[in-house]
Amino acid sequence: MIFLLLIISCKERPKENERPSAKPQETVKIESPAAETGKTAIDSAGITERLQGKWKEIEYPYRTAQFEGSTVKFVEEGTEARPAFQKFELLDDCPFDTNNIRDLTSGDVILALPETKRCEKLTVSKDTLTLTGFSTNTNADYNIVYLKEKP
């Protein structure tokens, strides 16, 4: 009987060189919202940094855009309303019901203006800012090109 107890207790004891069996670990995959939709993530901070300063339109020098922090002010000659800074957002899609944005592709950046519920495609390089959209008045695409003014 003692011999039987000894055999049973040795079977239940783990061997010295044997690792205890590990429970299978659960793998958790965390994906960004951009990865879920297949869209490229927008570098909002980098683009916002490049936008800072004053920009002057090439074709009409009395139209300017001035970016300060997360606000923008558009100035145009002959408008009744006094220009003021308004908050902007950089998104991958327009959250408003507009008809001037079409043919969005992965990587497109949208300049969204919540105050006026307006959106435009935006591209920016070191010294050139382009706002693009579709004009329902002319039924044609438009490009407004600005050059960055030197401080």
* Dihedral pair phi/psi, residue 74, rounded to 5°: -100, 125
pLDDT recorded at residue 39: 56
CA atoms 130, 59, 57, 147: torsion sign: positive
Q: Is the pLDDT of residue 29 over 50?
A: no
Mean pLDDT of 79-90: 92
Mean pLDDT of 28-55: 71
Contacts of 109 (CB under 8 A, 6+ apart): 42, 47, 90, 91, 92, 121, 122, 123
pLDDT > 70 in the chain, percent: 74
Tokens read off for 118: 């307006």
Integer Cα distance of 68 and 15 in angstroms: 68
